[in-house]
Amino acid sequence: MHRLATVFEELAAQDRKAFVTFITAGDPDTATSLEILKGLPGAGADVIELGMPFSDPMADGPAIQRASLRALHAGQDMHKTLAMVRAFRETNKTTPIVLMGYYNPIYVYPVDSFLADAVEAGVDGLIVVDAPPEADDELCIPALNAGLNFVRLTTPTTDDHRLGAVLANTSGFVYYVSITGVTGTRAPDLEAVAKNVARIKARTRLPVAVGFGVRTPEQAKSIASVADGVVVGSAIVDAIAQSLDDKGRATELTVSSVLTLVEKLSAGLKAA
């Protein structure tokens, strides 16, 4: 559980905010996705969320839905996703990786085997969108017992009573969803984000990272002024999509264009 805590502690000591990047594992293919994954820390990512492709990503907007489909069509599965993490860990022992997605691919793995393999591969935590606190015995508690952080989502509609349940077994950091709706569809309202982040931080010592809707260096900078970290996903996934050829295959520009965007976003965040 230590990589996530270490990163947030080190950044806080430097008066910096965490830049959390999201890509979908296997998008547009395993080899290209791994090259992007390996390049993210050098481009400025402090924490990496690696999406577990799923055919019905209900919380995700069109960009990440398409990324999941591209990955699945290219043959990505959970075993290949964990293999990507192992390959990443061969050269990077410090950058935290959090697997993000849905319960179904974990359930069919099944759970105990998945948790053991995730720990062995070098995964640091999980964000499982459709695993509510009422089902903590199903995945959350076993994950914590296995040594993985379990990061929860809170939203603008999470009231004070519900917030207690959400925070009860959360570890690593709290992910505040800045908008109502799915990923990448609207820009966050800074005043509302600041108010809700303050409400969450009054209830927990965990860092709070904000995502869903952050697409530009300017937005990253403004969100960083009120949160401990900023999550960017759809904008990065869009950069992948825009670099592909007319058959949806990677081009010589795919990796470089994505990492250039990450560098620009990171620069905007550091300017905060």
Active site residue 60: yes
Report the alpha-carbon distance of residue 92 to residue 212 in Å, rounded. 27
Of 27, 49, 124, 228, which is the active-site residue?
49
Output phi, psi for 124, to 5 deg.
Answer: -105, -25
Angstrom distances, CA of residue 249 to CA of 74, 112, 195, 224, 272: 10, 35, 43, 34, 36
**Could you tell me how far CA 26 lies from the centroid of its own chain?**
15
Question: What six digits make up the tokens of 190?
Answer: 């800074």
Report the alpha-carbon distance of residue 31 to residue 55 in Å, rounded. 21
Residue with structure tokens 């069509």? 73
Query: Which amino acid is it at 201?
Result: K
Active site residue 137: no
Residue with structure tokens 């935590």? 125
- 271 neighbors 48 (Cβ within 8 angstroms): no
Residue 109 burial class via C-beta count within 10 angstroms: exposed 0-12, middle 13-18, buried 19 and up: middle
**Could you tell me how far CA 184 lies from the centroid of its own chain?**
13
Of 27, 29, 60, 238, which is the active-site residue?
60
**Could you tell me how far CA 189 lies from the centroid of its own chain?**
20
Residue 84 contacts by C-beta under 8 Å, 6 or more apart in sequence? Answer: 25, 26, 30, 33, 34, 37, 50
Catalytic residue positions, numbered: 49, 60
